[in-house]
Amino acid sequence: MSAISRRSMLQGALAGAALASASPTTWAQDKPADSTTPMPRKGRIKQSVCRWEYPKMTVDELCAYAASIGLKGVDLLQPTEWEIPHKYGIICTMGYAEGGSIKDGLNRVENHDKIVAGLSKNIPIAAKMGVPNVITFSGNRMGMSDEEGAKNTVIGLNRLKKVAEDNKVVLVLELLNSKVNHKDYMADHTAWGVEVMKQVGSPNIKLLYDIYHMQIMEGDLIATIQANIDYIGHFHTGGVPGRHDLDGTQEVQWDGVMRGIAATNYQGYVAHEYSPKGDPKASLLQAANLCDV
């Protein structure tokens, strides 16, 4: 999670077509449609894109381009931006909602009142604006044991599950790597997150399984996802290593992972969260085509 930004809109579509056709992989589609006729997608994987990775595009520009290439939404918008995707026939697939920060999260009881107040205020707004998911975090260890942190996180999530259930919004706790990007982050393994989810026991409290982060921490992606799909409410992508484009320089076989997700009959969203190395629109089109299984 970082700053916010993005930019442009139509020409990268054509660049994306050229990039896709030049790839050794045969893509599902070769060119994006215009902004009024979204590119058709197979629909087994509902794709989105994270806003913060596109600092040279406005939210409107990103939403318009995402819609034109058949994506379903934009992730990680602030509450003041949640309405914008509707203009383009898509939604904010996951929003920030004052759910704490990567460093200061639910694993410390002293953070609970502020996080509960923020989410309790924003979750009903998310429901009214058609935002299906909002995000929260475990926080860093800072010397705390994983057992104590899990116990505290369960306490905090138990305070939030009624507002999430009443409003039919899913609150997702993000799994992040503590090896490369987020040193000391507590929710750095699937097993820790799943145990927390089991103890909370709510259909509206789930995990955000970030494929980039979990490949770094533990690998075994498809088997882990399929074994724990009942506890996963959202996915993020990102090339490993480097968190760049989903292409042949990366170690994850993205179409295979997407088929593994689709095989579970998962109905949520997969949002692309990586830093494009070149033309951001061409890169996003390539990722969307690759994951359209």
**Is 3 within the bounds of a domain?**
no
| 71: containing domain | 11-290
- Whole-number pLDDT of residue 36: 64
Predicted pLDDT at 62 = 97
Q: Does residue 188 fall inside a structural domain?
A: yes
By residue count, the chain amounts to 293
CATH at 173: 3.20.20.150
Per the domain annotation, does 283 fall within a domain?
Answer: yes
Note whether residue 102 is domain-resident. Answer: yes
Please determine, for residue 25, whether its predicted confidence score (pLDDT) is greater than 50: no
**Res 260 pLDDT > 80:** yes
Cα–Cα distance, 85 to 25 (Å, whole number): 31
| Any domain includes 88 | yes
- Is 112 within a domain? yes
Q: How far apart are CA 239 and CA 58, in angstroms?
A: 24
What is the model's pLDDT at position 67? 98
The phi and psi torsions of 47 (rounded to 5 degrees) equal -100, 150
Domain membership of residue 6 (yes or no) is no
Cα-Cα end-to-end distance for the chain: 27
Mean pLDDT of the chain: 90
Tokens standing for residue 86: 């509707």
Residues 102-112: tens digit of each pLDDT: 999 999 999 99
The total domain count for the chain is 1
Residue 4 included in any domain: no
Report pLDDT digits (tens) over 41-92: 999 999 999 999 999 999 999 999 999 999 999 999 999 999 999 999 999 9
pLDDT surpassing 90 at residue 30: no
**Digit-coded pLDDT (tens) for 262-287:** 999 999 999 999 999 999 999 999 99
